[in-house]
Amino acid sequence: MKVAVATDDGVHVSMHFGRSAGFLVFDVEGKNVSSCELRDNNHSAHAQGQCDHSQHQPGHGGHSHAGLVGLLDGCEVVLCGGMGAGAAQALTASGIRPVIVRTQGTAEEAVGLFARGELQAAPSGFCGCS
């Protein structure tokens, strides 16, 4: 299974999915974590500093998460510190399970905990933005 972790620095878990600079994608087999690849986030207006946040107000149409979902092609799970409800819905509709992690740390630590069934997911980490 492929597990993606949102990251800003290529090491730590990013606190927000759409604003992350990229995703570390790990191969997980059973309780073992093997290879890892970095996929740059060139698809999010947030990550590129182009979002003025006006689209996050009630009544605004929001924006598409299709590019981010496409970037995570082949992944079954994505770990991050938080994400908007719209992103969570887009991921779920594409068969990718979003998991909000409770503690900050490295991506490798988070994936290892996930693989062993020891990752403590936050009960709710989705913000009201798109």
CA distance 39 to 21: 9
pLDDT at 103: 78
Examine the pLDDT at 26 and tell me if it is beyond 50. yes
pTM value is 0.82
For 81-103, what is the mean pLDDT?
Answer: 92
Examine the pLDDT at 130 and tell me if it is beyond 60. no
Q: Look at 64 and 93; give whichever has higher pLDDT.
A: 93
Taking a C-beta distance cutoff of 8 angstroms, is the pair 130, 87 a contact? yes
Please provide the average confidence, as pLDDT, over all residues in the chain.
Answer: 83
CB atoms within 10 A of CB 38: 12
Q: Provide the percentage of residues in the chain whose pLDDT is more than 90.
A: 58
Q: For the chain, which domains are there?
A: 2-127 (3.30.420.130)
pLDDT at 59: 37
Which tokens is 9 given? 């620095």
Strands 32-40 and 77-80: unpaired
CA distance 13 to 73: 19
Largest CA distance in the chain: 45
Among 52, 83, 39, residue whose Cα is nearest residue 65: 83
Q: Provide the percentage of residues in the chain whose pLDDT is more than 70.
A: 78
Among 113, 125, 77, 108, residue whose Cα is nearest residue 12: 108
